[in-house]
Amino acid sequence: MDPREAKAIMSQGAIRPETSRDREERRILEEELATSPVKGEPLPQRLRNFRPDADAAIRGLGGPTIWMRRLRAIENEEERHEQQLAEAWQELAAETAEADEFARRWRETARGWSFAQVNELIDRHNRNFPAEARLPMDPRTRDFVKINGQPYERDYLDEKWALARFPADLGAARGAA
C-alpha cells in the first residue's frame, strides 16, 4: 500500500494543522462562491431510476454478465476485421496499377469477406440483450428504452460496413500506407 494512502486512512477524523495550500484553496473557493449563480439556492435533486437491492448485489459478485462479455467479443471481432481489411486493402493497392481494377477487385474482396462469426454474436446481442440487461419498456412506443438516446441494437457487418471504412479508392489506399 502507498504510504501516503495509509497515512490518509489512519488520520481520518484527526484535525491537522492548516497549511498554506489549504489557505489558498479556501481563498479560491470563497472567491468562486461569491460569483456563483446558485449561491444561497438549494441544489436540484438528482433522482435515481433504481434502488439497490440484494439481487443486484448478488449479480454483481459474478463479475461481468453474459451481455457484457458478448459486447466485448463483438468489439474485439470488429477490431480484428478492421485490421485484416486494412492489411488486405493496402496489399491490393500495392499490387494494382489501375484505379478501376483496384475498385473492382476491392468490391469483390469486400463482398466475399466473411463476417459470419461477428454477425452471429450481433444477432444474439440484438435478440437477448433487453432481457439480459433487464431493460425497461417505454409504454408509449411499446419498445425497450434507448440507452443514452441510442437504440441497443447493433448493425450487422457487411460489404457496406467494409467499404465505408476502406473505400474502393486507389489513392486513399495508397495514401493510408
Note the pLDDT of residue 177.
Answer: 64
| Cell, residue 10 | 489512519
* Residues in contact with 25: Cβ distance below 8 Å, sequence separation at least 6, in sequence order: none
pLDDT-based confidence at residue 45 (cuts at 50, 70, 90): confident
pTM surpassing 0.75?
no
Q: What is the DSSP-derived secondary structure letter of residue 41?
A: S
